[in-house]
Amino acid sequence: MIESGFRSAVSTGIGKIQREGFDYFLLSIVMITVGVGVIMIYSTSYIPALKQLGDGLYFLRRQLLFVGLGFIFCLGLAFFDYRLLSRYSAFILIGVVFLLILVLIPGVGTRVGGSSRWLRAFGYSFQPTELAKLAIVIVLADFLARNEANQDGKVRILFPLAVAGLVAFLVLLQPDFGSAVLIGILLLLLWMVAGVRLKYIVGLGLLAVPVLAGLVVFGHGYRLRRVMIFLNPWSDPEGSGFQIIQSFVAFAHGGFAGQGLGEGSQKLFFLPEAHTDFIFSVIGEELGFLGVAGVLFLYLVFTQRGIRIALKAPDLFGSLLAFGIVVMVSFQALLNMGVVLGVLPTKGLTLPFISYGGTSLVVNLMAVGVLLSIALHPHPSRN
């Protein structure tokens, strides 16, 4: 049954491409952004990898593998009828919850730096939280679309709140505060687009403020330290404030046109996590304001294109799904940029499509594949 459904979905997708055209523009924007990431990972990681691992191409080779795998999934999902995701949303949710529980089991999940976020096999790590973000978008979009005609606000509030709350709770146990916050943002914005009454959204948003404050103050001690360092990085320039100060230095060195590709110095053991969370700082140093503006432009175009797809979708599920994917990618990019620019406290979120990280890249490219599938099924009256 599943096999026949898959074959039907693929044949339908191919037929749509032949009749209506493929959104090459969106795919091109994503490919350019991923290409920027590959170049910057090479520039950022070569010397540290050579010194620490004896192989300067270690991170580049792995990222290229993830790029290839991600685009295979991307194109596969583009041929797949996105509406089948609605049919299997319950199984998707159960699978993701299972993985999030699995990663917390000692001896099963891999613990690094005090966090248990990875499942490891055959020399590669998988981060279930990244998949959970996309799963949340699918599940919430499906439920809100199915209950569009239900005028009882409680129905459209309680189930999404319970699902997002469960997933966010499991993510917090890892702990991963930044991803939990992103899941909360996804929930609030999907509610808004789905037409849930504003009083419910505002009320729950206000209730979330003291909860988040409590998690920062009374939760893991590093969260409060991050907030204090965010307010005054120079209070501990050699300790907790070192990373963000080095990020400031990188942007200052970059100026308008940058030091030149590969010529940055902050990546040489001054800026921790330069090829992952803080790769935007290296872009600022080596490519300057022009490079930063170029990357920001790519994300803005991606956002505009994604919203366009959401508005042209043939059904509410497609609209909510497309919008949720745009929020998932664009908000994470915004949060990452805010952190490295010192506008937000450190959260440990990668820069989508650009930062090193297999799970994040593959899942985000899968999400793009879903967007492409939605674009192949435009509403007849909105062409």
Residue spans per domain, the chain: 2-382
Residue 287 has pLDDT above 90, yes or no: yes
- Residue 135 confidence class, pLDDT cut points 50, 70, 90: very high
User: Given this model, what pLDDT does residue 217 score?
Assistant: 63
User: Given this model, what pLDDT does residue 98 score?
Assistant: 95
- Three-class DSSP category at 117: strand
Contact 301, 29 (CB under 8 A): yes
Helix axes 177-194, 316-340, angle to 10 degrees: 140
**Mean pLDDT for the stretch of residues 317-343:** 94
Cα 7 to Cα 3, 23, 85: the distances in Å are: 6, 22, 14
Cα 312 to Cα 19, 27, 182, 308: the distances in Å are: 17, 17, 25, 6
- Residue 153 confidence class, pLDDT cut points 50, 70, 90: low
- What does the pLDDT look like over 29-82, one tens digit per residue? 999 999 999 999 999 999 889 988 899 899 999 999 999 999 999 999 998 899
Output the DSSP codes for 241-303.
Answer: THHHHHHHHHHHHHTTT-S-TT--STTTTTSTTTTTTTHHHHHHHHHHHHHHHHHHHHHHHHH
Contacts with 145 (C-beta within 8 Å, 6 or more apart), sequence order: 86, 194, 315, 316, 317, 320
Report the half-sphere exposure of 2 (CA within 13 A, side-chain side). 4
Helix axes 24-53, 358-375, angle to 10 degrees: 170
- Residue 16 confidence class, pLDDT cut points 50, 70, 90: very low
pTM exceeds cut of 0.95: no
State percent of the chain over pLDDT 90.
55
